[in-house]
Structure 1
Amino acid sequence: MKKYLISLDKDIKRRELFFSQLNTQDFEVFSAFNTMNDELSDLSLRFDLTRFEQQYKRKVTKGEIGCTLSHLGVYQSILQNDYIQEDEYCLICEDDALFCAAFQQELDKVIAVSQADIVLVGQSKIAEFNDFELEINYPTTLKFLQKKLVNSPFTVVYPYQNYFAGTVAYLIKKSAARKIIAQISVQSLPYWLADDFILFGGTFKLDIKLVRPLMAIENPQLMSNLEAIRGSVANNLLKKSLKYPLKKLLAIKRNLGK
C-alpha cells in the first residue's frame, strides 16, 4: 500500500516527530503547497474563491486553499502511479498525525474488510482515540450491532451522517481519487474544503466510512497550521446532549440500511 505524508517544507520538526513513530519509514513525503504568501488574485487561478463562498457562506482562508490543493496534489500522484490499482487503498496523513498502538497491524485488518471509497481512520480536533465527544457529536450504531474486526477493538462503520472530520489520516481508493479529480476541469476549479466529506458523499457520490475508536489523532504536542486561522468553537455539552438521541437513531438506521 502506498502511503503519503503531506507536510510543508519548513516543518522539519513536525516530520521528525512523525517519523519517530513505528512503521512510518515507508511514507512518501509530499511537499504541501504553502499559499500563505500568495495573493488571492493569484490563488483565484487555481481555486474558485467565489464558488467556495457560495458553498460555505464565508470567505476561504489561504491556508484552507493550500490544504485542499495539497490533497489534490496527492490524488494526482496516485493517478499517475501505474502500480496502484483502481480498487487499491492509499493512506494519506498529515504531519501532525499520532498513531495508536499497533497502527499498521490494525490498519491491515481495516483494509481487508472495507469496501468503502474512503475510510477515515483519524480525526482532527479530538483529544483522545476514544474521546467522549466522538459518541456525543458523531455517533455510530449500537455497539452490539457493530461488526468488530477479528482480534481487534476496532470497527468500520457509518456515522449518523458524513461530517467535517479533518484530514489527519484517511484511506482512499485510487478510483475515489479519480472521481474527485474529475470534478476539476478548465472551466471548473476546486472550490471545496479538503475534509468536506459531506460534499464527497453527497455530490461526488463516494461511499465513506470511519473507524471507531480512532486510529489516529492530531499529536497533542503540535498545533495545526490551520488552527490559528480556522479556530475551534467549544459547543455547550447540554446542547450536544439534546441532539444526541436523534443522531443515534439516524446512525442506527443508516448502518442497518447498508
Structure 2
Amino acid sequence: TASLSAPAMLRVGPLFPALLFVLLPARSRGYFPEERWSPESPLLAPRVVVALICRNAEHCLPLVLGAIERLNYPKNRVALWVATDHNSDNTTAILRDWLVHVQKYYHYVEWRPQEEPSRFTDEVGPKHWNNLRYEHVMKLRQAVLNTAREIWADYLLMTDCDNLLTNPDVLWKLMSENKTIVAPMLESRAAYSNFWCGMTSQGYYKRTPAYMPIRRQERRGCFAVPMVHSTYLVDLRKEASRNLAFYPPHEEYNWALDDVIVFAYSAQLLIYVQMYVCNKETYGYLPVPMRAHASLQDEAESFLHTHLEVMVKDPPLEPSSFLSVSLKQPNKMGFDEVFMINLVRRADRRERMLRSLYEQEISCKVVAAVDGKALNISDMELLGIRMLPGYKDPYHGRPLTKGELGCFLSHYNIWKEIVDRGLETSLVLEDDLRFEVFFKRRLQALLQEVTTHRLDWDLIYIGRKRMQVDRPEKSVPNIHNLVEADYSYWTLAYILSKRGAQKLLGAEPLGKMLPVDEFLPVMYNKHPVSEYMEHFERRDLHAFSAEPLLVYPTHYTGDPGYVSDTETSVVWDDETLKTDWDRAKSRKTHEQGELSFEAQNSDVLQSELENWSARDEL
C-alpha cells in the first residue's frame, strides 16, 4: 500500500490546481442559479421640490441662488417652484434669467411672476408685513404645497430668499432625521434663529430657558420645538403630511394672521405633527428681520453683514455662475488712508479681511505687521527698545512678550507713516475683527458729525474692550454714539488724527515699552496704574470711543479657532521663557462681560441705525 501511495500522489498533484479552478465559481456567476444575478442598483434620490417666494431680493439672489446650485443633490431629482411679486427692484428679471439658464438641469420648473402692483395697500414700507401681505404669502405657500403633492414629490424644502444654505449636504442630513417637519438651525449675528422653543396660548413667542443652549449649540442634536420657519423640510411621504395646510386657516383658528403661526397651528394642534430643529453642525445663515420702516438699502446692508458673518467661520460664498454681478467700487470712506495690519504668515486672515472690506466697498493699504518671533536682541537694541520699569501683565504677572512687542511696533510704524505723509485722518484696522451691521454707514456718519461739530479729538476707538466698568463713561454732547474713552484694552480698530500720531510718537515709547493697548490709556491719562503714567510727562491725548462699538474680535479666549500672536509667544528678552499659559486666566482676551445697569453708557445720543432690527431672539 505504501508503495502505491507515492505514485498516486504524483499523479493527483498536478490535477489539484485545475480541479480547484473548476470548483471555484466565476466572479460574475454563482454556483447556484439564485446566485448568478447581478447586484441590485442603488435607489434613486428622493424627489424634492425647492420653493422660493421672493420679494425685493435683488441684493441677495446671486448668493442665495449660488448656494442652491451647489447643493450636493442630483438636480434631475429636484423641482424648482419660484414665485415673485410686489417688487420695486430687479428681482423678477434676475429670477427669470437664472431659471432660463438652469431649467435644463432640473427635473421641473414652475415660475409664477407678478409684475404689478409694486406694493401692498396701506403698507408703510417694503419691510412692512400687513394682513394683505401675510394672506398673499400664505396662499403662495399653499400653492407650492399643492404642487408638490400633485407631482408626487417625496419632500418639500421651503426656504426664504435671504437664507444662505452653506452646507451642501443639508438636504441629505435633514432627510436622514426621518421627521415629518425638520429645520436646520440657521446662524445669525444675534440670538435670532429660525425656531421657537416656546409659544403662548395665543400663538405668540414665549421666551424659555431651553432656547439659548440650543442656539449656542451647547446642546447638540434634533429637538422638538413648537415652531420652525424660514427654512425647513417637509416629508410628504408621511401620511400625516396630507393634512398640513397654510391656507385657508382652520375655522377654529383665532391667532395672529401669520404664515408661520398658521402652519405651526396646522401641524401641532390639528394633526399632532411635531416640528424639529437640528443644530448638529452649521447648515447656513439668515439675517435678523428688519423693522417695518426699514428701506431696501437697510435690508441690502443687513444681508451683506450676513455674508460677512459667514466669512468669520467659512470661506466666502460665490454668486451663481449664471448671473452677472456688478463690480464694486471701493473707497476710503473719507479718510486719508485706511491701514490694515496683517502678519505675512497669516494669509488666511489677510484674505478674509480683504474680501470683507471689498464687499463693503472699502479700500485699504495692507501693512505687513512686525513679526515678534523674528525679532532678536540686536534688533531691539538697534531700535532703542527698553521695557517700562516695573511693567507686568495684569493677569499673569509676566513681562512683555515678543508678540506684544511686534504688535506695538506695527502700530508705531503706522503712526510714523501718518506723520511722514501728513495724513489728517486715518483708520487703523487689525486683521482679527468682525464688522457690525451698517459698519460703513455708521462710521461715515460718525466722522461727519465729529467734523461738523469741530470736536477736538486725537483718537476714536471703534473697537475695544472697556475695562472701567464701575461707572458710565461721559457722553459727547450733540454727537451721536460717542463717549469719552476710559481705561480700555485692544487696538482692534481706531481713528487717529495727525496730531494724535504726533503725540504718540512724541512720548518716545520705544524706550519705555509696554503693550500698545496699555500705552494708549496712559496717553489719555486714564490708566489705573499711576506708576506707569509717571514715566510719560505729557498725557493729553484726546480719546473717545464709538458707543456702541462698530467692530468686535472674531474670536475670544476659549473659542474654537482662537489664536493669539501676542499672548502665545515668548518673553521679549528671553526666548526660553514661553508665555502660552492657561488662557482661561487671561481675562484680557475674554469677551466683554455684561455691564451693570449703573455702568452702562445709557445717556449717549442714539442714531436711528441703532434700532434697525425688528427683533432679536423673536
**TM-score for the superposition, normalised by structure 2:** 0.32
Give the match for residue 123 of structure 1: 464
Higher relative contact order, structure no. (Cα contacts within 8 Å, ≥ 6 residues apart)? 1
Give the match for residue 28 of structure 1: 365
Deviation of residue 192 (structure 1)? 3.0
1:60 aligns with 2:400: yes
What is the rounded CA distance, in whole Å, between the counterparts of 2:350 and 2:468 in structure 1? 31
What is the rounded CA distance, in whole Å, between the counterparts of 1:134 and 1:199 in structure 2? 13
Deviation of residue 90 (structure 1)? 0.6
Task: Report if aligned partners of 1:94, 1:167 keep a CA contact under 8 Å in 2.
Answer: yes
Task: Report if aligned partners of 2:492, 2:553 keep a CA contact under 8 Å in 1.
Answer: yes
What is the rounded CA distance, in whole Å, between the counterparts of 1:71 and 1:190 in structure 2? 16
Structure 2, unaligned stretches of length 5 or more?
Answer: 1-334, 526-537, 556-560, 570-578, 603-618
1:110 aligns with 2:446: yes
- More deviation in 28-37 or 214-223? 214-223
1:206 aligns with 2:541: yes
What is the rounded CA distance, in whole Å, between the counterparts of 1:20 and 1:28 in structure 2? 13
Deviation of residue 43 (structure 1)? 1.9
What is the rounded CA distance, in whole Å, between the counterparts of 1:207 and 1:7 in structure 2? 27
Task: Report if aligned partners of 1:121, 1:170 keep a CA contact under 8 Å in 2.
Answer: yes
What is the rounded CA distance, in whole Å, between the counterparts of 1:49 and 1:9 in structure 2? 26
Please list the CA deviations of residues 199-226 of structure 1 after superposition, one character each: whole Å capped at 9, or x if unmatched. 1102431011111111001113653322
Change in 2 beyond 3 A, CA 1:200/1:141: closer
Task: Report if aligned partners of 1:118, 1:207 keep a CA contact under 8 Å in 2.
Answer: yes
Task: Report if aligned partners of 2:400, 2:514 keep a CA contact under 8 Å in 1.
Answer: no
Deviation of residue 190 (structure 1)? 5.1
Structure possessing the higher radius of gyration over alpha carbons? 2
Q: Residues 187-198 of structure 1: matches in 2 within 5 Å? A: 189=511, 191-196=513-518, 197-198=520-521
- Matched residue type, 1:120: Y
Change in 2 beyond 3 A, CA 1:60/1:134: closer
- More deviation in 173-182 or 21-30? 21-30
Give the match for residue 223 of structure 1: 563
Please list the CA deviations of residues 133-158 of structure 1 after superposition, one character each: whole Å capped at 9, or x if unmatched. 8895674358xx97563xxxxx1012
Structure 1, unaligned stretches of length 5 or more?
Answer: 125-132, 150-154, 253-258
Give the match for residue 346 of structure 2: 11
**TM-score for the superposition, normalised by structure 1:** 0.72
1:89 aligns with 2:89: no
Question: How many residues in Structure 1 have an aligned counterpart in Structure 2?
Answer: 222
Task: Report if aligned partners of 2:386, 2:512 keep a CA contact under 8 Å in 1.
Answer: no
Which of 388, 403, 417 matches 1:77?
Answer: 417
What is the rounded CA distance, in whole Å, between the counterparts of 2:364 and 2:500 in structure 1? 20
Task: Report if aligned partners of 1:53, 1:59 keep a CA contact under 8 Å in 2.
Answer: no
Q: Residues 107-186 of structure 1: matches in 2 within 5 Å? A: 107-114=443-450, 115=455, 116-123=457-464, 136=469, 139-141=472-474, 149=480, 155-159=481-485, 162-184=486-508
Identity %: 22
Change in 2 beyond 3 A, CA 1:56/1:134: closer
What is the rounded CA distance, in whole Å, between the counterparts of 1:53 and 1:96 in structure 2? 30
Structure 1 vs Structure 2 CA RMSD: 3.4
**Secondary structure of the structure 2 residue equivalent to 1:228:** coil
**Secondary structure of the structure 2 residue equivalent to 1:36:** helix
Change in 2 beyond 3 A, CA 1:109/1:134: farther
